[in-house]
Chain A
Amino acid sequence: MNTTQLTPLFAAVALSLALTQCGDSSKPQAAAPADAAAPVAGQSAVQDKDSKPDIPKIAVGSKDHTTLVAALKAAEYLDVVSNAGPFTVFAPTNAAFDKLPKGTVETLVKPENKDKLRNILEYHVAVSTFKPEMLRDGMSLGMANGDNIKVSNKDGKIVINDSATIIATVPASNGIVHVVDGVLLPPSK
């Protein structure tokens, strides 16, 4: 046994001690920003185990979407998708991200690429709830980044931009999540 092995354990103990002693564990104890009293935590930090899950809670709860969640966190967009919306989110699976050229995700989540990452994520979000039956063949949908996606219906399946197929749909309290098997890439300008 040595200290290096023990440190994480003790750190965890210490952290739990600190949390307990800080008091109200039901509230997010976000640190105050340097210049004001308000917590930096936004809407995604609201403690609410009772309401129907919103989009971030669905994403965080899915083991197939860890890459998407990491990307949302890196873009600081978890608060955005916990907004009242309503949103339609096309949520690529981890496997979908894995189809991208090696290193793409790692590059995108770097702080210097935040705008690029945000643009890609916004291209997966439409403001309003589009249920599957509303996604008709040939339809064009305006996404949050200002670009449009193209919807096609092929063999009873809904395909976006001829590249990502909706493989599952999960209703959320603030919209709807369509799980897709491909990452949507905004048109290059």
Chain B
Amino acid sequence: MKPTQHTMQFAIASALAFSSALFVTGCKPKNLVATAQTSGAAEKVYVAPGKHDEFYNIVSGGFSGNVSVYGLPSGRLFRQIPVFSQYPECGWGYTEETKPMLNTSHGQLPWDDSHHITLSVTKGQHDGRWAFVNSNNTPRVARISFKTFRTEEIIELPNSAGNHSSPFLTENTEYAVAGTRFAVPYADEGANPDVPLNTYKGNFKSTISFIKIDPQTGRMSVAFQVMLPGIDVDLARGGKGKSHDWFFFSCYNSEQAHTLLEVNASAKDKDLITCVNWKKCEEYAKAGKGRKSKTQYAHNVYDEGTHTGTSTIETEVTVLDPKELKDIVYFMPCPKSPHGCDTDPTGEYIVGSGKLAAVIPVFSFDKVQKAIADKTFDGDYEGIPVLKYEAVLHGEVKKPGLGPLHTEFDDKGFAYTSFFVSSEIVKWDPKTLQVVDRVPTYYSVGHLCVPGGPTTKPWGKYVIAYNKITKDRYLPTGPELTQSAQLIDISGDKMKILLDFPTVGEPHYAEAIPASLIEPNSTKFFKIEDNKHPQATKSEKDARVERNGNQVHVFMTAIRSHFAPDNIEGVQQGDEVYFHVTNLEQDWDVPHGFVIKGSKAAELLIMPGETQTLKWTADRVGITPFYCTDFCSALHQEMQGYLRVSPTGSTTPVKFSLGDTAAK
């Protein structure tokens, strides 16, 4: 017994020792280890208080309709830029000046779904001037200025539905493209668009619009559209260098299914990449070879001089038909429902990512040119030549992962492809087609972004994964969880995850650009002397109230810490009151807000030197307060006023004042 007891005690002691060993290896040291291990990562993402990030990360806001601005490597969110959705924080789409920006051929729309960011380029390199972003639901492309970080222009796309393969750019920002995810019948050909859905084949067409960008002002206009068979145009990239004249679009649903696409658009082994010679298209359009299509689409421009948006309805677009203009469009077969279609920095390789494919095909631009010259065709698809797969293929990356979606490039000649199904980013060599590294993402990555990744001069350093699923990665917030980005260091041979950070809306595509290309040009305030707003009030002595029928116009100024006027009488029930508020400050970071009780719009948020207008209806008799909503100063809480509403037909005269304390 004794020896057994001894043995047992020994065993218990051993077990305890073992347990503490486990404790040591599995627990406490884990913290130590984690500290040591994470400290490397922490150092790489830590941006000390007051210091600036190295990159701007311009991220599509997905179903928020906005664009978000982050810093990298910190992952700090600086700002949301409202684009396609009303945004109450700054009154976007609520103020009289910004309402026209959301106008479309359907009228003013409150929401859309922004998907892809493209930053302007010169000679294929970031120039830090503009960001472009598409709306997916009601097809539009917007241009954001990097001086003001505001949406300056939105153009609607005619003959389009589901503007997904957009707004990618040609190498010198000559054009932004916009291809249709949904084929629809053209309504302009004298044909009745009211057709049975089962006549998809034949009746439904897709289009790719080329939006001309003015090189100085950035102003957009729809130059021409290329009409395609009814396939789903998904994503796109412009050529670079030798492929400068070309644009490449991934297209799925070559089956032309109109129901249960999940199954019916996945039947064929190969779909299509559409190669468009946009230079040729440009020549034909200029030579009048296009058909003039009667249509309607809105073109909205925000003028920073008048601080006002205007909306114009355009009525015509030029349509080019590749069945007639034989050398503008060629198809390349691409395995299994291609999603991403990306061109490498040299312009030689075109990478197609078939969502359901077990390989990544890499096409050679030189081979594409040769196949076109030699007419190495594999028949045609609805009258448009299909290039022979083997003739245009540089090679396939074999078994790279499951569910390839998008590819970006770094500064060392490597490609990075996101894999949704196998939740990973895979690094590979476009020349040798060998996989060199892979890193898991948490979870189910969609788009990815290397700073400068789509340009001719990638900045490299990081790849950011934009994940579709977060599940347990953050503190839960009910059924609706935050969306997620992951910053991964690609400076060494092995990719290393550095940081998770949440994003606004579902992040689709994003770009990152060195802060040095943007930061020095950022507008601090608007000069009051340059304010050309027709209702601007440039000094307090001009502040006034004018009645015009049942409209009352309040010409108001705001400066720390009062409005002029701040006492208004003579407004009658039922009057439409327009508050034209000019912020007289000429100082960095001193916006003023304005709102009045019962407002059915959002607040005004008026930048220094700017004028914005809130329309308000006096719906009841009584005294109505208004106040400044932005904490502008020590006496912000004193920045308030009263408006008196009298009954309709009242004889109370229009009266306004500031600082008038005489009893009446």
Contact = CB atoms under 8 A, between A and B. Distances in A.
Interface in A109-160: 115, 118-119, 122, 127-130, 134, 142, 144-146, 148
Contacts of A32: 30, 33-34, 37-38
B22 A14 contact: yes
Given A42-B442, A80-B402, A14 B497 contact: no
Given A127-B403, A128-B262, A144-B402, A10 B469 contact: no
B479 to A, nearest CB: 11
A15 B440 CA distance: 28
Contacts of A38: 440, 442, 497, 500
B90 interface: no
Contacts of B18: 10-11, 14
B7 A2 contact: yes
B119 interface: no
A1 B27 CA distance: 31
B422 A80 contact: yes
Interface stretch (A17-25, A64-72, A93-101): A17-25
B38 A6 contact: no
Given A37-B41, A80-B402, A142-B266, A14 B423 contact: no
A144 B37 contact: no
Contacts of B16: 14
Contacts of A119: 399
A1 B8 contact: yes
A163 interface: no
Nearest to B492: A35
A128 B263 contact: yes
A37 B472 contact: no
A129 B26 contact: no
A127 B405 CA distance: 14
Interface string B40-62: 11000000000000000000000
B15 A10 contact: yes
A100 B330 CA distance: 48
Given A42-B443, A83-B443, A122-B358, A11 B15 contact: yes
B240 to A, nearest CB: 30
Given A35-B494, A43-B443, A21 B30 contact: no
A48 interface: yes
A3 interface: yes
Interface residues of B, number: 53
B266 A84 contact: no
Contacts of A115: 399
Contacts of B269: 142, 148
Contact of B8 (A6, A22, A127, A130): A6
Given A6-B8, A129-B262, A21 B27 contact: yes
B631 interface: no
A46 B472 contact: yes
B498 A36 contact: yes
A21 B420 CA distance: 36
A91 to B, nearest CB: 17
Given A144-B421, A145-B358, A3 B7 contact: yes
Given A18-B23, A43-B443, A134 B263 contact: yes
B187 interface: no
Contacts of B623: none
Contacts of B27: 18, 21-22
A42 B445 CA distance: 13
A134 B500 CA distance: 40
Contacts of B615: none
Contacts of A21: 23, 27
B37 A122 contact: no
A34 B498 CA distance: 13
A142 B271 CA distance: 13
Contacts of A48: 471-472
B402 A122 contact: yes
Contact of A83 (B11, B37, B263, B444): B444
Contacts of A2: 7
B496 A36 contact: yes
A83 B421 contact: yes
A42 B497 CA distance: 14
Contact of A37 (B34, B336, B357, B468): B34
A146 B357 contact: yes
A47 interface: yes
B195 interface: no
B356 interface: yes
Contacts of A3: 7, 10-11, 14
Nearest to B421: A83
B11 A6 contact: yes
B447 to A, nearest CB: 15
Nearest to B15: A10
Nearest to B260: A134
Interface string A38-55: 101011001110000000
Closest 8 CB pairs of A and B: A146-B358, A10-B15, A14-B19, A18-B22, A37-B38, A22-B27, A36-B497, A17-B19
Interface of A: 1-3, 6-7, 10-11, 13-15, 17-18, 21-22, 27, 29, 31-32, 34-38, 40, 42-43, 46-48, 79-80, 83-86, 115, 118-119, 122, 127-130, 134, 142, 144-146, 148
Interface of B: 4, 7-8, 10-12, 14-16, 18-19, 22-23, 26-27, 30, 33-34, 37-38, 40-41, 262-263, 266, 269, 335-336, 355-359, 399, 402-403, 420-423, 440, 442-444, 468-469, 471-472, 494, 496-498, 500
Given A1-B8, A15-B19, A79-B423, 12 more contacts: A6-B15, A13-B15, A18-B19, A22-B30, A36-B497, A37-B497, A80-B422, A83-B403, A83-B444, A85-B421, A146-B357, A148-B269
12 contacts: A13-B15, A36-B37, A36-B38, A37-B497, A43-B469, A43-B471, A83-B444, A115-B399, A118-B399, A142-B269, A142-B336, A142-B356
